[in-house]
Amino acid sequence: MLKKIIAAMLSVSSLTFALGGIPASYALIPDDAVEVGGLRPGYTMEYMESIYGQPVLEKVKSCNLPAFSQYDYKYGDTVSIFSIGGKAIFSIKTTANNGWATPAGVTVGMDKSVLHDIYGKEDTSFRRDGILYYTYFVYPSGMRGLSFGTKNNKIVSITAYMDQ
């Protein structure tokens, strides 16, 4: 029996190693850190409008089931809100130093070094269109978190998101 348990443990260890191992750590930011400008993914559009007023509806991607239609809203040229069904917020993105910040006080225009100082090592990073993004998860699944776009060592965008 002991030999079977040891064999099973070795199999699991080998599989884990073959799949790339388990990351040493995740930043795993607290859930209440996933916010920009006082808005969190999951908040209602009604709540957002009570704070900031009516946004401009920029784009609608319709679906046969209206509850799954996708809506992009804007406040000026620098704040974008994404919603599914037009009822709940799924992401908030800011691209300028316009007063919209994370609860920790991070704003667009700050040096990217503040990210490590405040949140620790990022959970993942990727480059798209010349911008390097650092992403911090609430859970290892990555389904909720903060993503910071950086260019020339400065933060150029902040997105609080949850996957749909």
Please identify which residue in the block is written with the tokens 């199999």.
11
pLDDT of residue 26: 62
Q: What is the pLDDT of residues 11-69, one digit of tens each?
A: 433 333 333 444 445 667 999 999 999 999 999 999 999 999 999 998 888 877 777 78
- Strands 144-151 and 131-137, sheet pairing: antiparallel
Mean pLDDT of the chain: 85
pLDDT of residue 25: 55
* Residue 113 clears pLDDT 80, i.e. is over it: yes
Mean pLDDT in residue range 80-98: 95
Long-range CB pairs of 68-73, under 8 A, 24+ apart, other chains included: 73/45
pLDDT of residue 62: 82
Pick from 145, 120, 122, 117: nearest CA to 133:
122
pLDDT of residue 8: 40
Mean pLDDT in residue range 109-128: 96
- What is the layout of strands, in order, in the sheet containing 154-162? 56-61, 70-75, 79-84, 88-94, 154-162, 144-151, 131-137, 124-128
